[in-house]
Amino acid sequence: DVKVTQSSRYLVKRTGEKVFLECVQDMDHENMFWYRQDPGLGLRLIYFSYDVKMKEKGDIPEGYSVSREKKERFSLILESASTNQTSMYLCASRDLTGDYSPLHFGNGTRLTVT
């Protein structure tokens, strides 16, 4: 089974801090994704990456950046955390050898910015 591991289950950070959320997958998947989930809203795509050092903006990239130096690891960076970035963050990976492959998700990181 594919395993997607997010480094922290819960995080509490202060406004203005730089925050790193780490995600590692163990199945050599090309594509990796960062979503955030807020009450009443669907999962919203922040950034995705289809290869090492490649990244594309999703629907809500403002205030975030990403890094993918190795195929298995995809990091989400909050350059200067703000209270409106309090949310559940989900990492996912996907194999594109099949056209219709599903996403494999991590357990999520619940981030609180105070």
- Closest approach of other proteins to the CB of residue 11, in Å: 16
**If we measure between CA atoms, which residue out of 20, 22, 62 comes closest to residue 45?**
62
Residue pair 90/106 in contact by the 8 Å Cβ criterion: yes
Rule CB under 8 A: which of 10-39 touch other proteins?
A: 31, 35
Asked if 101 interacts with other proteins (CB under 8 A), we say yes
Question: Quick one: which segment of 12-20, 67-75, 79-87, 103-111 binds other proteins (CB under 8 A)?
Answer: 103-111
Contact residue for other proteins among 48, 64, 74, 89 (CB under 8 A): 48
> Strand ranges (DSSP E) for 39-95?
44-49, 56-57, 64-70, 73-78, 87-94
